Structure 1
Amino acid sequence: MAAGAFGLRESPAHAGQAALSRPVRDWRPAAEDVRRELLHTWNAYKRFAWGHDHLLPVSGGHGEFFDNAHPVGLTIVEALDTLYLMRLDDELAEGIAWIEENLDFSTVNADIQVFETNIRMVGGLLSGHLATREPALLRHARRIADILMPCFERSPTGIPYRFVNPSTGEISGVTNPLAEVGTIITEFGTLSRLTGDAKYHRAAKKAMKAVIDRRSELDLLGTEINVETGRWVNGAATIHPPVDSFFEYVWDAWDLFGDTDFRAWYEILTRAILEHESTTIDGHLWFARVDKDDGDVVATDQSELGSFYAGLLAQSGHRRLGDAYLASWTSVLDRYPVLPEGYDPATRAATAKGNQLRPEYVDSCLNLWLVAGPGRPAAERYRELAYDYYVRQKRHSRVANGWTIIEDVTAAPVRHGDLTSGYWWSEQMKYWYLMFAKADRFDYRSNYLSTEGNVFRGLLRR
């Protein structure tokens, strides 16, 4: 796509304060383009992969996420509330019909991650239900959550085991990373609210408390923990994977449910992160990995997944720091066409050269934009940055049958992989659309989006 498409000037990656003096422009052509791209890829999914978990857009095939022998329509589930927000109602109806007629997660015969199943399947079905009020979607969400519950209930500490086999009920995975322990509460809490059964919310909160109670004297958390003993397996403290969304959900449980315990925990943990993990390299704010007990730096490399933290900082009252961290990631775009999976600011080198169609940078643009106030000139620079990234990602990831991951962003031209990731449907296409459109089915003043982009508050029935 050429620069300046849709009548919009392609902004530089580091637009900075320039947008402050410009009037709010008409972003509707950009929103319509995002909608067309999603519909174009949906039609390719229908041709090549209908009912399967993933589209392989380069080869024109399909793949599964959980179990190669038992597809569960992951793409359909992940797309539900995005289709609703974009008013793609015929496509939404097709997806719901497939779920009602075909989805049976209990047939999956593989060790599946509690975390991935929760954020993708339970979360996608819940937001789909909240959008459409279809009772079948809530029933399926509850059935899948019930498959996951023994991982919590059989744990001596309340910290969930990592895996369960839905077909056999066997649980496994004594060592669990923090993101997989804690990224449960908003889905399980929403399920409790909708069903009136408090056991889901109670189990998720117990798991998070068990971890937070084991923080170090510096109020830092390690990376991995033993489910049965509660002892740390890895003592590196980080905002990056495999911890990242744990901190997101500590804040989110306060935001979504008004639970003051989580607000207090978030403030304790954030103070420690800002004191011990924040670092400045070449004038940019980054977050290092440190030893949880003494605060010594372990590594400075960054994961693109960690770029979500800019938006979380802004949401929780640290907008200046959020701006600074977003600017750090934006500076990486001076070196690469799209963000690499890993980057070390100390060496200015990509430590992981792929691009998995990640949404975290755009997620932070969205959250900073919402905090700054949609429609205000001061907020426009976040839309400019998000639009610049849309132009970049479309240019380098679009193929004949949709959008695909990239194996090497340092190559010229970039080298493609062959996958449209499930979260592409639930996250960045939604984020871009919400920023560029005035979506009449979304409440821009009061909303909540999960780590997987599922909307649990703010869906309007129109």
Structure 2
Amino acid sequence: MAFGGVLPTSTKHRNASWSLRRVLRSREKVLICIAGLIFLIVCIGPIFFLPDLRGGLNNRVDNVFKVYKQMQKVGPELILPAPPLLDKSEDGAPAFVRGIHNNLEDDLHHGDRARLRERMENDDDLKNLRVIEKPLILSQTSTASSKVALMGQMDESVRLEEVVDSKPVPRNSGDGPVVQGGMDTDPVARQHRDKVKEMMLHAWHGYKSYAWGKNELRPISKRGHTAGIFGRQDMGASIIDALDTLYIMGLMDEYTEARAWVQEHLDFNELRSEMSVFETNIRFVGGLLSIFALTGDPLYRDRAVHVARKLLPAFSTATGIPYAIVNVANGVAKNYAWASGGSSILSEFGTLHLEFSYLTDVSGDPVFKEKVVHIRDFINKLEKPGGLYPNYLNPKTGKWGQHHSSLGALGDSFYEYLIKSWVQSGGTDTLARDMYTQAIAVVTSRMLQKSKSGLTYLAESKFDRLEHKMDHLACFTAGMYAMGSKTIQSPVSQQHMTIATELGNTCHESYVRTNTGLGPESFRFSEGMEARALKSSEKYYILRPEVLEGWFYLWRYTKQQKYRDWAWDMVQSLEKHCRVEGGFSGIQNVYIENGHKDDVQQSFFFAETLKYLYLIFSDDSLISLDEWVFNTEAHPIPIRGNNAYYRAAASSIAAAANEVGGGAAADN
């Protein structure tokens, strides 16, 4: 009994002793492992983390980032360029080659060069050091990449960082395009322009205060608004859309803070959502390319390449006609289910040419122009029902969807980009010109109508029957017809200018026939109704620019004072009915004064509405139509051959990009 009582106790203690020894041994092993790991980190880590010890870099060009930081201290107001890493020299040290410029000083303004030399001579850390920039990582993704050295491409595996270029940021001078200033001699016009600038500041400060970094602002509830067209994440759409407007208006403090956001936060590698290919192109790619052209700042060019590459998976279809939506994280693309059996939309896949063509020219990568040239060739060869382009095309079968044609929603900017591609190419894109003249001839003969009282409008064609409705979006056609009249000399040029003025007048009527002085989303023509909305879903106004856009072109081309007067009436209506404490809001019913507001300040209010208002009250030299063409988001793109700010890549690379396009690409 006593033995039985002792044995379990003894066994229990022995088991506890063995367990303790095991614990102690495990802890000893952990400590030894930790000590060993620390030793390895201390001994080997510097090889990976210190540039002086990595890869045997030659002492003459070591520590790239320290040198660059020192250069920033010399003159922080300077953008100091340096060429990318392309090869190695014979002695094994990295050789840095630009291909266009061999001397950094040659690319600086005279005053900047003198200040830089003086500072370098007085700074011991900078003497005898060559300035080199962190190189871009080039990757081969183009189908024709073997023919050219791709420029301006970002490494998508790392977070984007700013890159600098050898071209200085321009300022207005007598020998270059006027991109700032441009004050009109008319004192009334100057006062009106100042008012528009104040509106821009009010809208911008509201966005900055309540929605910074968000896509758009809800100015009444004072919070951010993320629309479905931008995906589900914050992408700063309003910042990108506002950049060139801020710069043109000379609002440099606001422009500088916007640029800083682009440099620090615009990174599509961080996105995990679906995005509209069309909206991303016209707002982000177009906005970045525009401000690159205006300033020469390569940060914008490289971000534009970065964004455009995220859209390329959408083009992976049997026909090359892109899908409407792409997930920028995994490249999965698709179309809207409601779009005529999953078809692509004419106004979306037809509104890529300006941006993608120019992007190839400034980056040297032919893949972008290849994509849009293929689209152009493909649809040009298709048979058009009744000579019209339907709004839907199946990207898998290459067949048209529903026979619905419109110069408003779903079709509008396809026609706009035909004439503008002709203009932007400097008159060399003859295919775009021919497609435009053929299409607009059919549109004019079949869709252009006159109301009972004589108002000219563009109806919609649905299965060979006309619907006598015109969208606010279709009011851009006043400017399109006017541009065609001025840039394509033909027997119908004068007729088209007459049509342009009549369409501008009809769209004005849609405004003055409301209680707010702002036009509805759509307006109809019937026996008892002209230029008025019928359905409640057609009566809203969301700060749209298309009516004003038409007046802008008509003002530039005709100089009739009424277009400025109409624009000023619009300013007063915006102030009275859309301005709120936090910015500007759309309204839900243009026929009701003091009605409900939609609480959204659209990003295109910065890019288009306020820009067109500012320019219509400016001298014609500011963003001259002889030097610039606006994309459909009103971002100015320089005209090749007419604009010193075209900023193409090296001529040999641009020539190679044109060559690989083949066929119709030669016309571009």
When normalised by structure 2's length, the TM-score is 0.62
Partner of 1:269: 439
Equivalent residue, structure 1, for 2:274: 111
Give how far 1:277 is off: 0.6
- Counterpart position of 1:7: none
Does residue 138 in structure 1 map to residue 272 in structure 2? Answer: no
Task: Measure the CA separation in 2 of the matches of 1:384 and 1:419.
Answer: 27
Q: 1:87 to 1:460 in 2, by over 3 A?
A: farther
Shift of 1:209: 3.0
**Aligned amino acid, residue 407 of structure 1:** Q
Q: 1:273 deviation in Å?
A: 0.2
Comparing 426-435 and 406-415, the one that deviates more: 406-415
Shift of 1:68: 6.5
**Which 5+ residue runs of structure 1 have no aligned equivalent?**
1-22, 373-377
Matches within 5 A, 1:416-427: 416-427=597-608
C-alpha displacement at 1:64, in angstroms? 1.6
The aligned residue for residue 190 of structure 1 is 358
- Looking at structure 2, the residues matched to 432 and 449 of structure 1 have their Cα atoms a distance apart, in angstroms, of 14
2:523 equivalent in structure 1:
343
Is 1:396 equivalent to 2:566 in the alignment?
Answer: no
Q: Which segment drifts farther, 305-314 or 324-333?
A: 324-333
**Is 1:355 matched with 2:355?**
no
Q: How does 1:216-231 map to 2 (within 5 A)?
A: 216=384, 218-231=386-399
Show the counterpart of 2:623: 442
Partner of 2:465: 296
The partner residue of 1:94 within 236, 253, 257 is 257
Distance 1:192 1:24, change over 3 A: same
The match for 1:286 is: 457
Distance of 2:211 and 2:389 partners within structure 1: 41
Task: Return the letter of the residue paired with 1:44.
Answer: G
Q: Within the alignment, does 1:253 sit opposite 2:395 as a pair?
A: no
Q: Report the CA distance between 1:454 and its aligned residue.
A: 0.1
Code of the aligned partner of 2:241:
E
**Residue 205 in 1 paired to residue 373 in 2?**
yes
Check the 8 A contact 1:404/1:420 in 2, yes or no.
Answer: yes
Instruction: Give the length in aligned residue pairs.
Output: 430
Distance in 2, matches of 1:234 and 1:121, equals 30
> Are residues 188 and 67 of structure 1, via their aligned partners in 2, closer, same or farther at CA, if it must alter by over 3 Å?
closer
Paired residue for 2:650? Answer: none
Check the 8 A contact 1:131/1:460 in 2, yes or no: no
Q: In 2, distance between residues paired with 1:304 and 1:228?
A: 32
What letter corresponds to residue 547 of structure 2 in structure 1?
Y
Give distance in 2, aligned partners of 1:277 and 1:25.
Answer: 42
Give the C-alpha shift of residue 365 in structure 1.
0.7
Supply the distance in 1 between the matched residues of 2:420 and 2:623 (Cα, whole angstroms): 19
Q: CA deviation at 1:213?
A: 2.6
Query: For residues 424 and 229 of structure 1, do their structure 2 counterparts lie closer, same or farther at Cα, with a shift above 3 Å needed?
Result: same
One-letter code of the match for 2:439?
A: L
Which of residues 192, 211, 216 is equivalent to 1:49?
211
Q: In percent, how many aligned pairs have the same letter?
A: 29
Change (3 A) 1:43 1:88: same
1:371 maps to which of 539, 557, 580: 557
CA contact (8 A) 2:233 2:273 kept: no
Q: Which has the larger radius of gyration?
A: 2
Residue of structure 1 aligned with 2:239, choices 73, 76, 87: 76
- The residue that corresponds to 1:330 in the other structure is 508
Equivalent in 286, 307, 314 of residue 151 of structure 1: 314
Contact in 2 for aligned 1:123/1:187 (Cα 8 Å): yes
Alignment CA distance shift 1:405-1:159 (3 Å): same
- Structure with more of its chain in strand, by fraction: 1
SS at 2:450's partner residue?
strand
Q: Is the contact between residue 280 and residue 286 of structure 1 (CA under 8 Å) also seen in structure 2?
A: yes
CA distance in 2 between partners of 1:308 and 1:161 (Å): 25
CA deviation after TM superposition for structure 1 residue 135, in Å: 1.4
* Structural RMSD (CA): 1.9
**1:64 aligned residue (212, 226, 234):** 226
Number of the residue aligned with 2:497: 319
Q: Secondary structure at the match of 1:302?
A: strand
Q: CA deviation at 1:355?
A: 0.4
Rounded to whole Å, the distance in 1 between the matches of 2:603 and 2:305 is 21
Question: In the aligned structure 2, how far is the partner of 1:68 from the partner of 1:312?
Answer: 31
1:460 Cα offset (Å): 8.6
Counterpart in the other structure of 2:15: none
Question: CA shift at 1:441, angstroms?
Answer: 5.3
Contact 2:615 2:622 in 1 (8 A): no
d(CA) in 2 for partners of 1:445 and 1:73? 31
Question: Which secondary structure does the structure 2 equivalent of 1:385 belong to?
Answer: helix
Alignment counterpart, residue 635 of structure 2, candidates 448, 454, 459: 454
Task: State whether residues 406 and 412 of structure 2, in contact with CA within 8 Å, keep that contact through their aligned partners in structure 1.
Answer: yes
* Preserved contact between residue 577 and residue 593 of structure 2 (Cα < 8 Å): no
SS, match of residue 224 in structure 2: strand
Between 1:391-400 and 1:304-313, the stretch displaced more is: 391-400
The structure, 1 or 2, with the larger RCO (C-alpha pairs under 8 Å, 6+ apart) is 1
3-state DSSP of counterpart to 1:124: helix
TM-superposition CA deviations, 1:91-144 (whole Å, max 9, x none): 111111111111112332222111001001111111111122221211111011
Distance of 1:51 and 1:225 partners within structure 2: 35
Structure 1 Cα separation of the partners of residues 232 and 324 of structure 2? 22
Q: Which moved more, 1:156-165 or 1:205-214?
A: 205-214
Match of 2:195 in 1: 33
Q: Distance in 2 between matches of 1:53 and 1:216?
A: 38
Instruction: Give the drift of 1:442.
Output: 2.8
Residues 215 and 230 of structure 2 are in contact (CA less than 8 Å); yes or no, is this contact kept in structure 1?
no
The one-letter code matched in structure 2 to 1:436 is F
Distance between the aligned counterparts of 1:440 and 1:263, measured in 2?
Answer: 26
Compute the TM-score of the two structures, normalised by the length of structure 1.
0.89
Tell me the amino acid that sits aligned with residue 348 of structure 2.
E
- CA shift at 1:291, angstroms? 4.2
Stretch moving more, 60-69 or 99-108 = 60-69
